[in-house]
Chains A and B, each alone.
Chain A
Amino acid sequence: AQSVTQLDSQVPVFEEAPVELRCNYSSSVSVYLFWYVQYPNQGLQLLLKYLSGSTLVKSINGFEAEFNKSQTSFHLRKPSVHISDTAEYFCAVSGGTSYDKVIFGPGTSLSVIP
């Protein structure tokens, strides 16, 4: 069975400071890894994903995540956060087909302080 752990339920950070949101997963098979974001009063949006290839993946708004197979981690980072990054971030894992459920972590609430 697959599972996802996000140890930090809430992360406050000052504007323009760097941030790291931690994600660890467990799985007995090869996985696809995702970060989803939910902005206030909005739905879930796919932020970035690791399917294969380069272990460092990036989003269009400056976030990046690195797949580390030996540590079973997929931490999300941004070197300088903006107020608009305030949201809830969900790490998720899935097998490789549409028949494999996406399993979500409990979420990390990122609050950017002016």
Chain B
Amino acid sequence: EAGVTQFPSHSVIEKGQTVTLRCDPISGHDNLYWYRRVMGKEIKFLLHFVKESKQDESGMPNNRFLAERTGGTYSTLKVQPAELEDSGVYFCASSQDRRNYGYTFGSGTRLTVV
């Protein structure tokens, strides 16, 4: 089966611009998670979708970040307007099980805001 796919793999944008990251989970996985790692710091949870609904968005840093999951399939994470501190690697993960047996992560999107 195909894994979790994220694109773009890299994005360099100027401060104030908008960027949209996309994640395609493994087919049939109801749970989709976004995490990010700001340079040199911990991998932090952003939010969790169950199908198309936001189950937990407690990790979203501010209202410049907007996540959607259309029809319970792929998800997008939009940053508008981007700030320098948004630079980092954004990871997406998915799982099917109600029990947490470990996520399958995508390869991440490296976002650089200049």
Contact = CB atoms under 8 A, between A and B. Distances in A.
Contacts of B95: 98
A34 B4 CA distance: 19
A98 B31 contact: yes
Interface of A: 32, 34, 36, 42-46, 49, 51, 90, 94-107
Interface centre among B45, B48, B55, B103 (most CB of A within 10 A): B103
Contacts of B35: 104
B43 A99 contact: no
15 contacts: A43-B6, A43-B106, A46-B104, A51-B101, A94-B100, A97-B98, A97-B100, A98-B100, A99-B55, A101-B48, A101-B56, A102-B33, A102-B100, A102-B103, A104-B43
A79 B93 CA distance: 31
Contacts of A106: 41-42
Contacts of B41: 106
A102 B56 contact: no
Contacts of A51: 99, 101
Contact of B107 (A42, A96, A97): A42
Contacts of A104: 35, 42-44
Given A44-B105, A46-B104, A97 B99 contact: yes
A101 B45 contact: yes
